[in-house]
Structures are given as structure tokens and as C-alpha cells.
Structure 1
Amino acid sequence: MNLKLLLLLIVSFAVPQLLFADFIFRNGKNMEISFPGGEEDVVQTAVDIFSKDFSAVFNANLLKGSNAQIIVGTLGNHSLAEKLIDQASLEKLKIHSEGYALWVEKDKMYILGSDKRGTAYGILELSRRIGVSPWEWWADAAIARKNSLSFKNGFQLLEHPSVAYRGIFINDEDFGLMPWSSRTFEPSKIKGQIGPKTHAQIFELLLRLRANAFWPAMHEVSVAFFQTPGNREMADKYGIVVGSSHCEPMMRSANTEWKIDGKGNYDYVNNRENVLRFWETRVKELTNSDNIYTLGIRGVHDGKMQGANTLKEQFDAITSIIKDQRIMISENLNPDLTKVPQVFIPYKEVLDVYKMGLKVPDDVTLMWTDDNYGYIRHFPTEAERNRKGGNGIYYHISYWGRPHDYLWLSTNHPAQIYTQMKLAYDKGAKDMWILNVGDIKPGEYLTELFLDMAWNIDSIEDNKKGLDQHLKTWLTREFGQPYAADLLAVMNEYYRLAYIRKPEFMGNTRTEETDPKFKEVTDLPWSEQEIKNRIADYDKISEKVVQLSKAIPADKQNAWFELIEYPVRGAAELNRKLLYAQLARHGRANWSQSEAAYDAIEKLTTKYTTLANGKWKNMMDFKPRNLAVFQKLPQVKSATPLKTFQAPFATFNGNEFVKFEGTKPVSHGLGHQSGAVSIKKGDHAVYEFNSLAKDSIRVEVALAPNLPVEGKLIRFEIKIDDQAPKIVDYHTSDRNEEWKINVLTNQAKRMIITRLDNKQRNHSITIKALDENVVLDQIKIYNL
């Protein structure tokens, strides 16, 4: 009896293990998927995308069938997945929009979404897991074959987004996306049309990146999104929530549509009925679509509203406008206004109106902006954080305007994006994040970083190590582990050098300025040694990229060129062109070196536009707006001498403190030498140095030019030895000269002149943060 009982026990434990192996994808083996009827279009769209990926990876087909190994469902659709999910996961899903649970049980995989988009993200998580890059089409990222991939029984994943609406804004599309779409990818007889085939690719990318929101291109050169047949339907198919920018209320691109559908002037004050009719026509068209309605008004194209000149007149007009727009929404879309997403964007003069006490309805999201150069202008106050509609951020990695455009290469520092957006999130901006990506290319990595944060704000460890790991993981996915470490060093240096000064800013020119001295390329305030050091730094990473390109596998060469080689070598050559020209103007270099760099950029761009049998023809313009900085340079002599370099006798990066009080300052990799640190309010860091013979010194403190978080000031306290501390404020006024210099150099500088006690050899400098957002980059000490 005992032996029989023992055998019975052994069999009872062994049989489940034999019956239920791991869930396994296998090369050449078809797989079935099932989901109940009544699922929304985006779910079928996600299945179609994953089916394509599955075939590419495993050389097999994903079939719909009753004997399915993958069971999909959405809450409320009575799916088998919903019946089998554990209670704890079910309760979590119920309280989170766009979440999903993915688990393996008894050799079957289940995916359950909290809503239609959650289900779609769950399905496309499988694409990520089998190794397909979100950039498989947009950056020609190669899809690797696999023999098998297994998920153990008991595997569980439950995710939901940190930010409610997450997406991108196609902007300044004149030089890339519009000509590429209308002439190359989706040729149209209608000039400037960006059609549904193009938008299908954009929306697939957004789904793969777990985004849900989109602001369409809106420049005058482009046909408006809703004026092109098929665009709206494509957004519905992919489950994308279409919104519009700060100057496009009620889903209308006034810049292009008013001259077609408007009557009279776009002037609410003096032409109210026609303006309201213009808006309401669009609202009625979109009855069954997912949209975010921008409230308020500005001019036809990013200008001041018409018909109201003073702030008081603008205040009264916008108050009336919002009331009319809300009535329109309630009458045409939903009497319950809280069910229709709405946003108000206090930008430029509208911010001044808001600050006058404008009453924005509590259910409307307030969306704050950066200063176009990555520094957020306003963080939600406690009262704004408590609003039902919440807060959002509109952020730039591409910009057309003063003091200078950056439309060619995407060089915003990842640590700047991270620190600014993390602070915004912590301050309550959790409801809408929109990134101005220009033409999408070449901003691929920064776009993914931004949207990864929006999906899971805690996915990146809050320090340099975490940011390095995110970038390294991305590089590993795209090019493989053997190259990731070298590439991480290259890309960190690429972003560091551009943080000192973006390639587009290297001509010392400015755009949209009246002063003629900014129209032509002139010397930067750098010495010969500084110029040669920068050339050498760029040469080093450019040569490394050329070396690595020989080892990159053939199937990854297109992605390599688009994501790494073109931006790194392009930035290097533009710097070489302008810096050798500066030396040549002083007889310190040959003009041929500058001209060779220009020719190199031209050749690199030609290669870009002929990649993949011309897939990207018309996408990459290395002379956006034909600005002087991009041209061959006139061979002239300089009438003024090169700057003489004055070396400080001591230099400290922010992370070179010897001690601190409070929370240890955090390094994220920002700074001219990647050594900047964030110092929390009330904490301080101490730096020590030995003085030379002279007793008078000049201390130069350089900080990231962040903007105030609360109030109007951003301050630090500096104390030298036992001297009385000095309080220093470094906030800037909107678009003044100091702000322009700050954003062009990514430093705000303050000078302190003092005398030291000659009897004391060892000295200290203590920097204390008096406000939030203080990021100390460098301290330099000069003898006087």
C-alpha cells in the first residue's frame, strides 16, 4: 500500500509537468490566436502587425482559430482571458486606462486589456519580446530570425501608462516629411499632401511605442490632415487620438483651412458667427472619432489673436471663446463635457492672459510648454495639480525660430529631456505629453526615450547610470551586444558636444533677428586651442563610427547609417566646416579643409536619400531654410584677432565635490564635461582648492539654464571660505539677450570677484540650492 501510494503521489506531481510545457514560439510552426467578436478596429490592427512580425521572426503564420494558443480579450467583452485572470490583476486593470495583463498558464498565452488600446499594447508587447524594434520600418531596423522563444508557465506581466495621453507633433515639415510623403512615399498630384498611407506608418510606429496621441503637420506648405481623404479613417483604425497644437483650436488647422472654409477675417471679436461656424463644421465631422479638443484661439499661424489688442481685450475674448467652444462640444459630442478630452495651452501671449486670472474649466487639461529649447517654462502649482483635468507638457526636440533653428540633426541631450520631464511629472504633469519631433527622422532615439518615460516614468533609474543603461539597451537592440559599449561612448560624446553648442548654432548666426551682424557666419568666442580641441573631439567619434561601420552586419547597415553614422558624421563635418573656416579667416588653417567638410556633408546626405532603393528620397535636407550656417563659406580675412585663451587655475565639474550636506547631488550626465549635478533645494555641495600667490580671484559659476519651478526666481547661495554668503539669482526674462545666450550655450553664468586670505592656503567654495531645479555644471576660478 505504501509503495502504491508513493507511485500515485509521484505521478500526480509529474503529470502536470508533462502535460503543460512552457509556451514556445518555434521556427516554421504556425500558431493560432483568438479574440471574441466585437473588438475594436485597433485590436485587429495590432494583431495584423504582430502577425507580420511573427512571420518575419519565425517564418510561420499567425492564424485565427478555435484551438488558439494565444487568447486575447478586452474587459467587458466576455473573453476567456477575462474569465481566467486572477482577481488581483483584474482589479488593477479596472482602475487603469490602457493597461494590459499578459500571462502564461497551462501552455497558453493570455492577453487582456483594460480597454481597446490596452489590448493592442499587450499584443504588441509580443513583438517587443520576439525582438522586433519599433523602428523596423522607420529606421530600417533589421528583424532577426529566431529558432525559438519560450515563456515559462506562470509568466506574468501587468503594465499601464504613467501619462494618460502620450504622443508626437509633426512640425516644420517643410524640409522632410512633407516633400518625402507627397513626392516619394505617397506621390500626390495635390501639392503638399500627407496622405493616409504615410499616416498609417506613423500610427503603427506610435502603437509600437505605446503612444496614443498625434498632432498632425500644420504648416501652410501642407494640406490639412482632415482635408485629405482617408486620414481620419486611418487614425480610427490605429486607435490614435488626434489633437492639435496651441494655435489650432477645435481640430481646425486655421493656417491652411481658413482660406478654404472660412469667411472674412479669422477674428472672433469682429467675425464671431463665421469663426464659430468654421469650428462647428469640423466638430460635427468628428462625432465618432477620438479627439482632444484644443480650446482658446491664436492667430492664423502661431501669431497673436486678431481683434483684441490689449491683454484685457484678449482676456475677455478668450473667456467668451471657451464658453462658446464648450457649448459646441456639449451640443455636438456629449452633454457630459468631462467625457470629451479638452486642453488649454497657455503659450506666448495666452500665458499672460492666463496669469491675469483666466478661469479655465476644471475638467480641461492645462498644457505647459518648454521655451522651445528644452527648458520647461512653468511647472504646475499645487492648485493646478488638484484640478480634475490635470496638466500636460508640450516639449521640443526640433524647433524653427529665435534665436536659431535646430531642424537638421536631433541633438537634445537625453539627460536634459529626462530631468525636465521627470520634474514635470513629479510636479503633476501626468495627463498629456506631446513631443515636437519635426519630421520624426533623425529624432528616433530621443522620441523613444520620451515615450518610454511617458509609458513608465520609473523605467529609468534616476541617475546617469540609468540613462546610460537605457541608451545602451537601445543600441544593443538595434546593433547587437558586441558594439553596444563602444557605441554608448560615441553617442554620449555626440550629445555632450552638441550640448556645448548644437551643430546648427556653430556659425554664430541667429534667425529672425533684425541685427545684420547675425545674418552672416562670424567667429565664435573661442581661442585657437579651444577650436582645435573641439575638432579633435569630433574627429575621434567620427573615426570610431567609420571604423565600426566596417564591422556592422550587412542587414543592419541602413539602420546604422540612419541612426548613427549620418548624425554623428554630419555633426562632425559641420563643426569641421565652420571651425576650420574660423581658423582660416585668421590664417591658421587652409580653406580647403572647410570646403572638404561641406562636400562630405553633401555626400553623406546623398547616401541617405538613396538608401533602401531611394526609400528616404526627399526626407533629409541638410540646408533647412537655406541658412548661412549650412552654406559654403566666403573666403575672407578677419579684421579682429582670435580670442586669447585664459586658463582658470582651478576647474570643478559639479560632480567633483568633496563633501555635501543633505541629499547627495545627483549626476545625470548633463554638462559641458558631463559632470553637472542636480542639487536639491536646501542642500549644498563643497569644493576645495589651493590658492596661488595672488589674493584676488574671479569665480565663474556655470549652471544649466533651467527656469524657475515656483515663483519667478531660481537662486543659489555661494560661500567662499568663511566669508558672508552671497545669494545669486539667474532667472531670465522671456526671450531677452541673456536667455538667448543661455539656450545657445546651455549654460547660465554668474561671476563673483573676491579677495582671499593669503595666510590661508586651503580654500573652499560652498554652493547651496535655494530653489528647485538648480543644476550645477562647472566652477572655474581665475586669478585677477
Structure 2
Amino acid sequence: MRKLIISILIGVIFPLYASAGFVFRNDKDVTVVINDSEEQVVHTALEMFQKDYVNVFDRELKTSNQQGNIYIGTIGLNKKAEQFIAIKDIQELKQHEEAFLVSVKDNHLIILGSDKRGTAYGILELSRMIGVSPWEWWADSPVEKKQSFKLKEGFKTLQYPSVARRGIFINDEDWGLTPWSYLTHEPSDTKGQIGPKTHARIFELLLRLRANTFWPAMHTCSVAFYLTPGNKETADKYGIFIGTAHCEPMMRNTNAEWKTAGTGKYDYVNNRENVLKFWEERVKELAGSDNIYTLGIRGVHDGKMQGANTLQEQKAALTNVLKDQREMIAKYVNPNVEQVSQVFIPYKEVLDVYKMGLEVPEDVSLLWCDDNYGYIRHFPDSKERARKGGNGIYYHISYWGRPHSYLWLATNHPAQLYTQMKLAYDKGAQDMWILNVGDIKP
């Protein structure tokens, strides 16, 4: 009778701890088992979760490569984590990029990812579970203290993205992000510099939101991304693919960099050798990084290409441009060029050139655009949906240009955004989504 009464009291007073499962508690440490050989972004995500854990439970989260309560790993890098997972679940993970499994077995918490980003997303899923918003810094979202949080024995969630590349384009940065960065957040004597401290905050938000792609700011008011030391390394730390806008082929900020690194006019038709040299320098520099190469060519800054006046001349030039760019990628990045992420963006007049029959390699993603006011101009047809490279959307919720601009505030109605993007997804634009944002804070 005495034992029964004690058992009942324990069950009443400590109901969270009475049954099997995994419990985070503010009166007990937990230890994470993780290999040092995990990719950098995995360790970055764990550092973020450790900070969140302290903020919620006021306890330290320890790490070990031997024994512990939590096992974290990427498939093939942590056998101790995999031994808790059913073979069918491991096979399911292997079928998807950036997938993760969070499960509880034998009172242990296991996080297993199909690749480095999947593992990182799985770790930060724990932050969401314990109540930390992805917007905890940018939107000043408060973190609530907790005494405990429990996952029941047998808990399992397996998740993976439905869009392969997804992220934001920092655009129209003149009055918001740029001055805040170089005057306030990381003061710099270089006017317009958006440095690694600012980008670390942006990339942390993207990682928490499970976004993986970033197009850096590209106006003349800001220093080009790759000209600021530490920016590239920060992107690598957070596992972010760096791409570039429709008028910035081959990872070059043409608007800012041609005037210092180019020779003559930015005119592929009449100055091909120097234009190719300009692109080649950056491609050689970035070999080995996670990049998405924008192909094609437009003007120095958001205008039609130079040296080709008619649409037919533009089509002929673009055909040769694509050939030269692909050869450059094969030479410096990967001989199997089809394994390198590439995108072609039929923006403004380039859409007219494409519709004239421009042939884009099958493995290159086609990124369709809205009309700058939230209405998508083209959805992939059956032939385009069958392409190996797939399709995507470049969508504005901020715009600076004729006939009138809308910046900063939420001009686009959420219902319109949903309707347009849902339609795009249903019509096969599922490989890349880029959102043009004038600023992040609002």
C-alpha cells in the first residue's frame, strides 16, 4: 500500500516525468552525441540550438562523441544515431534532399538528416518545438521560459522540402538594410558595406526558416557581396547557396564590379574576350562553394543587353553566351556541368527572346517572373515541366522602378501572394522560389 501511494503521488506531482519518452528539464543536463566530422552548417545549427536551450531552460547543452541523451547525425556519419532508426525510415530519408527525422526511442532523442542541411533543419526543429520563433531576433519575438518539455516514446516526424531552392533577394537596399548595416550594426568606414556580421543575422533567419538560397544586394549604393571579406565564409557557415539576380550572370555583381574589374564596355557581342575574363575570375574564385550560377546576360544594371539591338540579335548572342558560360563551369567547377546548379531567368525583354525559340540546356532551371506587381507572367507548359532542370519563380513583394515604386511596407495582399504561388506550384514551378524583399525588418 505504501509503494502504491508513493507511485500515485509521483504520478500526480510529476506527470511529465512519469512515463517513458524524452524530457528537456530546467533541473537536469542533457548531452548531445555528434561527430566532429559533421559539416559546418550542422555545428552552426547546434550552436544556435544550444543558445535557444539556455534561453528556454537556463541549462547548458553538453556535447560528446561517445554517450549521451541526444544523438545527432547525417546518414553515413553517425552510426550511433542510425542504430535507433528503422531501415525503412533511413531509406525514406535517402530519397529526399534536405530531409530530416526526429524521433524518440528508448528514452533517447534522435535527429538524422539525409544531408548536411537536413540535419541542420532537424536540430532547429527542436528550437521550434521548445517555443523559439525563427523570428526571435528580427521581429523581437520573446522566448518563454519553460520548466520542461516532453516528447513521448515513439514520437516521429520525417520532413523534407517541397521546393528545392528557396530564399530571398535583398533588393532596393539603399535606405534600409545598407545604412543600418554599415552605420549601426557593424560600423564601417566603407560606405555601403554590408558585412559578415549583418549577413550572419540574415543567414541565421534563413536557416531557421529552412530557406537555403540568397541573392545579395546589388545596387551601386552597397558594396558587392564578394568584395567584403568574410561574407563568403559566413554563407558557407550557414549552409546557404549564393545566387545572383537576372542581370548578374556567373556570380558577378556587374553593376558594382564592372567599373573596377572590367575592361571596355560590358558588351558580349563586341567585347567578348574581356566579358568572359570578367566572369572567369569569379568562377575560379568560387570553385568548391555552394553556388547557383545565373546564366545569360543583360545590361550592366537591369537593362537589355548591349551590342544586340533586335530580339533576333539578342537570341543569337544569348545562344553563344550560354555555350561559353557552360564551358567555363565545366572547366572550373565540375566537368559534369549538369551536376552544377544553374538558372536562366526570362525577366522583362528576355522573356520575349525566350519565346522566340531560345534553347536553354535541359538541366538549367527556368525561373519565371511576375510582372513586378505580383502577377506571374508565365507558367511552365507541359514541355517545360518535363525539363530536368525544372522551373521556379522570382516574385516581388518590393519594387523600385517605373511606372511607380512600392518599397518596405507590405503592399502585396497575402491572399494574392498565396494564390499566385499556389498556382505556380500546381503548374510545376517547384524547383526554385526567390522572394524579392526590400528589407527584412517589416
Q: What amino acid is aligned across from residue 291 of structure 2 in structure 1?
A: N
Percent same amino acid at aligned positions?
A: 67
Instruction: State the alpha-carbon separation in 1 of the partners of residues 81 and 422 from structure 2.
Output: 35
Partner of 1:38: 37
The one-character-per-residue Cα deviations of 1:466-503 (angstroms, maximum 9, x if unpaired) are xxxxxxxxxxxxxxxxxxxxxxxxxxxxxxxxxxxxxx
Partner of 1:108: 108
Instruction: State the alpha-carbon separation in 1 of the partners of residues 252 and 107 from structure 2.
Output: 50
The one-character-per-residue Cα deviations of 1:372-414 (angstroms, maximum 9, x if unpaired) are 1111110000000000000000011111123321113113211
The one-character-per-residue Cα deviations of 1:27-62 (angstroms, maximum 9, x if unpaired) are 142221111231100000000000000000000011
Partner of 1:61: 60
Instruction: State the alpha-carbon separation in 1 of the partners of residues 421 and 351 from structure 2.
Output: 20
Alignment of 1:89-108 (within 5 A): 89-108=89-108
Instruction: State the alpha-carbon separation in 2 of the partners of residues 137 and 37 from structure 1.
Output: 28
TM normalised by structure 2 equals: 0.95
User: Residue 84 of structure 1: SS of its match in structure 2?
Assistant: coil
1:220 aligns with 2:220: yes
The one-character-per-residue Cα deviations of 1:742-762 (angstroms, maximum 9, x if unpaired) are xxxxxxxxxxxxxxxxxxxxx
Contact 2:408 2:438 in 1 (8 A): no
Partner of 1:743: none
Instruction: State the alpha-carbon separation in 1 of the partners of residues 408 and 156 from structure 2.
Output: 43
Instruction: State the alpha-carbon separation in 2 of the partners of residues 80 and 185 from structure 1.
Output: 42
1:249 aligns with 2:249: yes
Partner of 2:159: 159
Instruction: State the alpha-carbon separation in 1 of the partners of residues 141 and 78 from structure 2.
Output: 38
Instruction: State the alpha-carbon separation in 1 of the partners of residues 209 and 321 from structure 2.
Output: 35
Partner of 2:435: 435
Alignment of 1:161-560 (within 5 A): 161-442=161-442
Alignment of 1:110-129 (within 5 A): 110-129=110-129
Instruction: Give the drift of 1:369.
Output: 0.5
The one-character-per-residue Cα deviations of 1:53-104 (angstroms, maximum 9, x if unpaired) are 0000000011102331110010121432223211221121111000001100
Q: What amino acid is aligned across from residue 203 of structure 1 in structure 2?
A: F
User: Residue 150 of structure 1: SS of its match in structure 2?
Assistant: strand
Q: What amino acid is aligned across from residue 423 of structure 2 in structure 1?
A: L
Q: What amino acid is aligned across from residue 228 of structure 2 in structure 1?
A: T
Contact 2:251 2:282 in 1 (8 A): yes
Q: What amino acid is aligned across from residue 326 of structure 1 in structure 2?
A: R
Partner of 1:84: 84
Contact 1:36 1:79 in 2 (8 A): no
Contact 1:97 1:114 in 2 (8 A): yes
Q: What amino acid is aligned across from residue 439 of structure 1 in structure 2?
A: D
Q: What amino acid is aligned across from residue 248 of structure 1 in structure 2?
A: E
Instruction: State the alpha-carbon separation in 2 of the partners of residues 54 and 191 from structure 1.
Output: 37
What is the aligned length? Answer: 425
Instruction: State the alpha-carbon separation in 2 of the partners of residues 41 and 20 from structure 1.
Output: 36
Q: What amino acid is aligned across from residue 402 of structure 2 in structure 1?
A: R
Choose 1 or 2 for highest CA Rg: 1
TM normalised by structure 1 equals: 0.54
Q: What amino acid is aligned across from residue 148 of structure 1 in structure 2?
A: S
Q: What amino acid is aligned across from residue 210 of structure 1 in structure 2?
A: R
Contact 1:35 1:79 in 2 (8 A): no
Alignment of 1:558-597 (within 5 A): none
Q: What amino acid is aligned across from residue 232 of structure 2 in structure 1?
A: R
Instruction: State the alpha-carbon separation in 2 of the partners of residues 97 and 110 from structure 1.
Output: 19
Q: What amino acid is aligned across from residue 58 of structure 1 in structure 2?
A: F
Instruction: Give the drift of 1:19.
Output: 10
User: Residue 197 of structure 2: SS of its match in structure 1?
Assistant: helix
User: Residue 174 of structure 1: SS of its match in structure 2?
Assistant: coil
Q: What amino acid is aligned across from residue 367 of structure 1 in structure 2?
A: L
The one-character-per-residue Cα deviations of 1:595-646 (angstroms, maximum 9, x if unpaired) are xxxxxxxxxxxxxxxxxxxxxxxxxxxxxxxxxxxxxxxxxxxxxxxxxxxx
Give ranges in structure 2 of 5+ residues lacking alignment. Answer: 1-16
Contact 2:72 2:78 in 1 (8 A): no
1:50 aligns with 2:49: yes
Contact 2:214 2:243 in 1 (8 A): yes
User: Residue 199 of structure 2: SS of its match in structure 1?
Assistant: helix
User: Residue 38 of structure 2: SS of its match in structure 1?
Assistant: coil
Q: What amino acid is aligned across from residue 129 of structure 2 in structure 1?
A: R
Instruction: State the alpha-carbon separation in 2 of the partners of residues 155 and 266 from structure 1.
Output: 58
Instruction: State the alpha-carbon separation in 2 of the partners of residues 195 and 229 from structure 1.
Output: 8
Q: What amino acid is aligned across from residue 29 of structure 1 in structure 2?
A: K
Q: What amino acid is aligned across from residue 382 of structure 1 in structure 2?
A: S
Q: Which has the higher contact order (CA 8 A, sep 6+)?
A: 2
Contact 1:287 1:333 in 2 (8 A): yes
Partner of 2:20: 21
Instruction: Give the drift of 1:20.
Output: 7.2
Partner of 1:71: 71
Q: What amino acid is aligned across from residue 35 of structure 1 in structure 2?
A: I
Instruction: State the alpha-carbon separation in 2 of the partners of residues 350 and 290 from structure 1.
Output: 26
User: Residue 173 of structure 1: SS of its match in structure 2?
Assistant: coil
Contact 1:181 1:193 in 2 (8 A): yes
Contact 1:368 1:378 in 2 (8 A): yes
Instruction: State the alpha-carbon separation in 1 of the partners of residues 418 and 92 from structure 2.
Output: 28
Contact 1:29 1:61 in 2 (8 A): no
Instruction: State the alpha-carbon separation in 2 of the partners of residues 428 and 370 from structure 1.
Output: 16
Instruction: State the alpha-carbon separation in 2 of the partners of residues 225 and 30 from structure 1.
Output: 41
Contact 1:29 1:58 in 2 (8 A): no
RMSD over aligned Cα, in angstroms? 1.2
Runs of 4+ in structure 1 over 3 Å off: none
Give ranges in structure 1 of 5+ residues lacking alignment. Answer: 1-17, 443-784
Q: What amino acid is aligned across from residue 144 of structure 1 in structure 2?
A: E
